[in-house]
């Protein structure tokens, strides 16, 4: 059974974005280095960044260790969790996707929704491939 496939590659791309993206987006003056943020907010930002790294790398490990239905399921779920929880964070009382003076509603949507769509596509392609093998 071949390890290389379009489906696993698509989910892997999302996993890489999940692992690296939070650092690219938040390691700056608007988040981690923001002097206006209280220490506890920075703590949770660091927790979120570390969670993205952990989910992304664990997803990659599941996807590429052995091509089975179980490893695919785990890899796809792990690749999706960061983005699903980011979307769900908008439901918490007082939560907003940007700090003032920003007015955008959910700028993260340009990454979160495509990431979920690409993961779903990769999952379907890989499920089909595994069923054939």
Instruction: Evaluate whether 110 touches 9 at the Cβ level (below 8 Å).
Output: no
Distance of CA 12 to the CA centre of its chain: 11
Distance of alpha carbon 130 from alpha carbon 132, whole angstroms: 5
User: In this structure, what token pair is assigned to residue 45?
Assistant: 């930002």
Highest mean pLDDT, choosing among 46-55, 65-74, 94-103: 46-55
Is the peptide bond preceding residue 101 cis, with omega within 30 degrees of 0?
yes
Question: What does pTM read for this prediction?
Answer: 0.93
Q: pLDDT digit string (tens) for 12-53?
A: 999 999 999 999 999 999 999 999 999 999 999 999 999 999
CA distance 66 to 1: 10
């Amino acid at each position: 059974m071949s390890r290389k496939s379009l489906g696993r590659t698509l989910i892997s791309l999302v996993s890489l974005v999940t692992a690296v993206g939070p650092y690219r987006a938040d390691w700056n003056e608007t988040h981690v280095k923001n002097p206006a943020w209280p220490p506890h907010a920075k703590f949770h930002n660091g927790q979120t960044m570390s969670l993205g790294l952990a989910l992304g790398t664990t997803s990659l490990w599941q996807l590429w260790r052995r091509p089975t239905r179980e490893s695919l399921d785990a890899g796809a779920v792990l690749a999706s969790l960061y983005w699903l929880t980011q979307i769900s964070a908008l439901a918490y009382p007082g939560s907003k996707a940007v700090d003032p003076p920003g007015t955008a509603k959910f700028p993260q949507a340009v990454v979160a929704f495509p990431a979920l769509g690409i993961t779903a596509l990769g999952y379907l392609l890989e499920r089909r491939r595994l069923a054939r093998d």
